[in-house]
Amino acid sequence: MTLFTIKQIVFIGFLIITFSTFFFTTFKIYRFFKLTKPYPIKDFGKRFLVLFKVAFGQTTILRKPVVGFMHALVFWGFMVILFGSIEVVFDGILGSERFFAFLGPVYNIIIGLGDFFAYIIFFCIIAFLIRRIIIKVNRFEGEEMKAKSHRDANISLLLILTLMISLFFTNIFYIVLNPNNYSGVFPISKYLAPLFDGISYDTAYFLHELNWWLHILLIFFFANYLPYSKHFHVFMSLPNVFLSRLEPLGKLDTMESVLREVKIMLNPNAVIENSIEPASRFGVKDVTDASWKNYLDALTCTQCGRCTAVCPANLTGKKLSPRKIFIDYRSRMKELGTLIIKNGKDFTDNKSLIRDYISEEEIWACTTCNACAKECPVNINHPTLIIDLRRYLVMEESKAPTLINNMFSNIENNGAPWQYSAEDRLLWTEDLNKSQTN
């Protein structure tokens, strides 16, 4: 009697390849994170509330009642089906069948929901493919949405579709093989199983094994495809929502090194904390100047276009697309990060995120209205990165649009953004008394 069957050995081999490849990819991404600046994390209690509300509750995405609800069903369905996927891994390693069946009623509920959601997700994905390929929803288009982006989205949706087909056929042929003695509850598959009663046991067994292997191998492949896809948010959305910015929308982050200098200037005798190190660079010129949270945002971006669809600058024909900002960040990090890891931390390719990827025109088109951040289903805060890009231009290169430069000059010369001195600031009120007299 052998310790492992051929099926187990083959399965364990695929599992090792899957985890090894995934570890290699995630380690590379981890090294990219190491190239970025710190981002402080606190208020864990509030973060869990945001996680349950936005991520598990899907509150932001449900603002679109029809499509949002369909997407929420897909998310909730995957959360349930994940249990079955873990069970398949145990079955593959141990050579068991329905490993978690000992959970009894709890198992029946989870497996029953999984069977139900498999069909729901199937029809939702069909609808999503129709919207992308036939209807061509406007917010899926844009300068930044290359043919590769559309192909990636379609491939991911087709993979999910095939996953669901293999899952419910696995359930159907499991019932066919065990008509009176199967574990779990299958509220939909049990009504489809009788359609295959006429086939032989060997054929049913073959079809069950075919779909079982197809399902798990697709999961293994999908897990390693996701980090290179826009659908990486399948893994990254929960952590990104948990780590999302908790400050009110519109509140700008303070540059502590600058604040320290201002305090010293206003009160040279004040006791100032010395732990704040001088900034090596003001603002963000390239991806390595930004925080690791900005890179996490870029990896999490679903490219759904909800941000760009509500951006007033984009809607009025300006070049800014909030979605493009983070697509460009991710592309630039992939390019520069790879070169730095290969050639050392001081390597430069004489390119930068500003200008080579994101133009000054895009940066200054932002009105900081925060509509993009409010609509993002994974809590990306676009204006914080845009503001940091502006800070670099202003504080390092003294570059800003003419009207803003005029305002800076007025503040420097007059102590206010207007072109009048403090003594002349109220001269406009003299005519008010005359008009009231008349």
Cα–Cα distance, 37 to 289 (Å, whole number): 6
State mean pLDDT over 415-425.
79
- What distance in Å separates the CA atoms of residue 391 and residue 368, rounded to the nearest whole number? 14
Residue 31: pLDDT over 50:
yes
Q: Is 295 exposed, middle or buried (0-12, 13-18, 19+ CB in 10 A)?
A: buried
Output the pLDDT for position 421.
Answer: 78
List pLDDT tens digits, range 158-210: 999 999 999 999 999 999 998 888 888 999 999 999 999 889 999 999 999 99
Give the CA dihedral 335, 337, 339, 340, nearest 10 degrees. Answer: 160
Q: Give the rounded percent of residues in the chain with a pLDDT score beyond 70.
A: 96
Number of Cβ within 10 Å of residue 55's Cβ equals 21
What region does 351 belong to: left with phi over 0, alpha with psi -120 to 50, or beta?
beta
pLDDT exceeds 50 at position 428: yes
- Cα 164 off chain centre by: 23
Residue 84 reports pLDDT greater than 50 = yes
Look at residue 279 in the predicted model and tell me its pLDDT.
67
- Structure confidence at residue 424 (pLDDT): 78
Give the Cα separation of 14 and 16 in Å (integer).
5
d(CA 423, CA 425): 6
Question: What architecture is the 256-419 domain classified under in CATH?
Answer: Orthogonal Bundle (1.10)
- pLDDT in the model for residue 1: 38
Q: Which of 237-241, 258-262, 292-296 has the lowest mean pLDDT?
A: 258-262
Tell me, what's the pLDDT at 122? 96
Q: How many angstroms separate the CA atoms of 425 and 323, rounded?
A: 42
On the question of pLDDT at 270 being above 70, the answer is no
Higher-pLDDT residue of 130 and 420 is 130
| pLDDT at residue 358 tops 50 | yes
- pLDDT tens figures, 278-290: 667 889 999 999 9
Nearest to 274 by CA among 288, 261, 255, 283: 261
Residue-level pLDDT at 238 = 94
Report which DSSP code applies to 193: G
